[in-house]
Amino acid sequence: MPNISVCKISAPVTLATIQSFATLRLRSLQVNPEAFGSNYAREVAFTEEQWRERIEPNSDKATFIATATHMNLPEHSQDVATVTDEEQWIGSVSILGPDYLTKIPFTLPAAFEERDELWYMLVGTWVEPQFRGMGIGKRLMREALQWATGSRGASPPNEVQKKCVLLRVHAQNTAAQMLYRASGFERFEDPEDESAPSDEIWMGYRVQNGDNSSAINDAQE
């Protein structure tokens, strides 16, 4: 049984980190292309700098990865000194803060924009198929939500600001919806939003500064 760890990618981002993340991301786009708004053909052409910009952490975005460490003992050897550890990247999730969302193509439904909240976006959630059902997705989500809880965003230092972490998921992706619900997300509806693809739904999770976790209380089913 491998040892599973979850951690945030830290700065400065090394070339090895970029390569490991790119390999994981491109594999996710090949294995589950229906789960993402991007595609393999687009991202396989990314340069090193484009990958670096994607995962370089700052005060308004973060990427968390899950790794599995396997212990390798050469065949017919009982020498502990020959045992080596092999780390495999097996999952990831990124969270984008309110300031970052103003710098990329991102449009909130009108009904959401009217609310006095800081908006965060969860993107790129994926776990290797052979490691699913082990709670790894929940661990990644928990780390991302805790980051949003502690993030100040555009709030003054002493001001408690309402926050909401949003994500979009394909309506037919029931496994992902179950993961998100188990992590405290609930479905958001905006009946007047005609721009949203009919096969996607919004889900959200509300937090406040100082809270460890808080499920949405007024999401509509």
Convert the pLDDT of each residue in 186-212 to its tens digit.
988 655 555 555 678 889 998 855 554
CA-based nearest residue to 96, from 125, 76, 116, 122:
122
Q: How confident is the model at residue 214 (pLDDT cuts 50, 70, 90)?
A: very low
Q: How confident is the model at residue 47 (pLDDT cuts 50, 70, 90)?
A: very high
Please give the C-alpha separations between residue 88 and each of 85, 128, 130, 204, 206, in angstroms, as whole numbers.
10, 10, 12, 30, 32
Which residue has 């390798």 as its token pair? 72
Output the pLDDT for position 135. 94
- Is the whole-model pTM more than 0.85? no
Q: Give the whole-angstrom CA distance, residue 120 versus residue 135.
A: 23
Largest Cα–Cα distance in the chain? 67
Output the pLDDT for position 217. 36
Mean pLDDT score of the chain, rounded to an integer? 83
The pLDDT of residue 96 is above 90: yes
Where are the domains positioned within the chain? 3-208
The pLDDT of residue 94 is above 50: yes
Output the pLDDT for position 200. 84
CATH architecture assignment, domain 3-208: 3-Layer(aba) Sandwich (3.40)
Query: Which of 34-48, 50-64, 65-79, 166-180 has the lowest average pLDDT?
Result: 65-79
